[in-house]
Amino acid sequence: MSTIERAEVFVSSPGRTFVTLRVTTSDGVTGLGDATLNGRELAVAAYLRDHVVPLLIGRDPARVEDMWQFLYKGAYWRRGPVTMTAVSAVDTALWDIKGKVAGLPVYQLLGGRSRDGVLVYGHASGTDVPSLLDDVERHLELGYQAVRAQAAVPGVGGTYGVRKGTIYEPAAADLPEEQPWDTEAYLGFAPGYLEAVRERFGFGFHLLHDVHHRLTPLEAARFGRSVEACRLFWMEDPTPAENQEAFRLIRQHTTTPIAVGEVLNSIWDVQHLITGQLIDYVRTTVAHAGGITHLRRIFDLAALYQVRTGSHGATDLSPVSMAAAVHLDVTVPNFGIQEYMGHAAETFEVFRSGVTFADGRLNPSDAPGLGVEYDEKAAERFPYRRRYLPVARRLDGSVHDW
C-alpha cells in the first residue's frame, strides 16, 4: 500500500501571500492543497505544520473521506476558518493524488462534466463612474459574460472593491489601513452607477455587485429594491451573516437575488441560509470550506432548495484552489457562477496551472489530478511579506464591518 511519506508547507508572497501544502506518497506521487487565509496565513501554516502534518505520515492517501472525518472530528474543536482551511488543504491534496494515481483529471473522479465550461464573472471597478464604465467595456471586450461593478464612493476614501494596480488586492498594507465609511453616501451613489452600466451596455450580460457586509438588513432591503430595474445577477453579502434570520427581512422586500458565504466555512454555517431559502447563491469555496469533499456536500444540500453555487475566487485563493473549484464547478448540477479575479504575473511564476479561459468561461485541464504545479525554487524568490486587510470606520470613528 502506498502511504503518505511527507507533507510540506510553503509560505511565499508572489504578488500576494499564499500558503501551499504539498503531500508526497511513498510512490513519489505529489498532491497540492491551498491553505491561504488572507491576513491570517501564518496561523494556518502553523496549524498544518505543528498539528496536522505529524498525523498524516504513514496513512493511506486514497482514503479521502476518512481523512476528512479524522481531521475534522479528531481535532475535537470544530469548524472555524483556521481549522477548515487546513482540512481543505489536505483534502484537496489527496484528490490531486487520487487523480494522478488513476490517470484522470479530478472532474472525472467527481462524475464527469455536467457542462462545457464554467461561467465566470470578472471584476470591473473605477475611481469614478467614467473609469468604471471603461473597465466594464474592457471586460466585455475580453469576452466576459458576467461582470461585477464597483466604484469608489465620492468623499469616502478607499472604498472596497476598487482596483489600484492591475489586480484588485485589498490586503495592501503591512498593518491594517483604517478607511472611512459612510453608508448614506454609498446608498445615494451606488444605484446610480449600476444604472449607468445598464444604460450604456444594455442587458446582454450578467451584472453583479458586492455590498461587502456594509448594510443593515433594512438598508439592504432598500438597496435591493432600488436596483431592481438593473436586474442584477446578485447582490453579494448585503449584511453580515452571523444573524442569518436577517436575510428573511431583506427577502420580504426585494427580488434582487442574494449571494452569501465567502467567509463561511462549513455546511452547518450555511444550513439555515440554505434550508430557509434565504439566499440564492452560496459562495463557500474549496479553500475555506473543507476542500472538495465538504464543498460538494454543501452544494448537494443547496441543490435541494434551488440554491445555486457562486464560489469566491478572489486573488487570495491560489491557483490550486481555483483549479479545484473549476474541477468541481464543471460537474455540479446546481452550478451558478464562479468568481474569477485572475492573479498577478508573479503568482504564475510559482504556480503553473492548466486552467484555461475562453469566451467568459473557465475550463479545467485534462492532466491527471488538478493540473497545477508548484515551483518551489521560483517561490524562494518571493519571501513572505505581511499584509493585512483594511479596517473600516464610520464617520464618528467607530469600527464598521469591512
Contact 88, 291 (CB under 8 A): yes
What secondary structure does DSSP assign to 76-96, as a single string?
SS--SHHHHHHHHHHHHHHHH
Binding partner of 288, given ligand GCO, Mg ion, none, CB within 5-8 angstroms per partner class = none
Of the residues 41, 91, 210, 280, which one makes contact with Mg ion according to CB under 5 A: 210
Neighbours of 173 (CB within 10 A): 13
Angle between helices 217-226 and 183-201 (to 10 degrees): 20
Q: State whether residue 186 is helix, strand or coil.
A: helix
- Give the active site residue among 123, 139, 206, 212: 212
96 binds Mg ion (CB under 5 A): no
Binding partner of 105, given ligand GCO, Mg ion, none, CB within 5-8 angstroms per partner class = none
Report the distance separating Cα 142 and Cα 135, nearest Å: 11
For the chain, give the number of residues: 402
314 binds ligand GCO (CB under 6 A): yes
Interface segment toward ligand GCO; rule CB under 6 A; list 136-144, 227-235, 309-317, 357-365: 309-317
Report the distance separating Cα 246 and Cα 32, nearest Å: 38
34 binds ligand GCO (CB under 6 A): no
Q: What is the DSSP letter of 118?
A: E
288 binds ligand GCO (CB under 6 A): no
Please say which residue, 212 or 327, places its beta carbon nearer to ligand GCO. Answer: 212
Interface segment toward ligand GCO; rule CB under 6 A; list 59-67, 71-79, 184-192, 311-319: 311-319
Report the distance separating Cα 274 and Cα 244, nearest Å: 10
CB of 53 to Mg ion, least distance (A): 31
For cell 448585503, the residue is 238
Of the residues 339, 360, 363, 372, which one makes contact with ligand GCO according to CB under 6 A: 339
Neighbours of 348 (CB within 10 A): 16
38 binds ligand GCO (CB under 6 A): yes
> In the complex, which residues of this chain contact ligand GCO (CB under 6 A)?
38, 170, 210, 212, 236, 262, 312, 314, 316, 339, 389
Q: Would you name the residues annotated as active-site residues?
A: 160, 212
> In the complex, which residues of this chain contact Mg ion (CB under 5 A)?
210
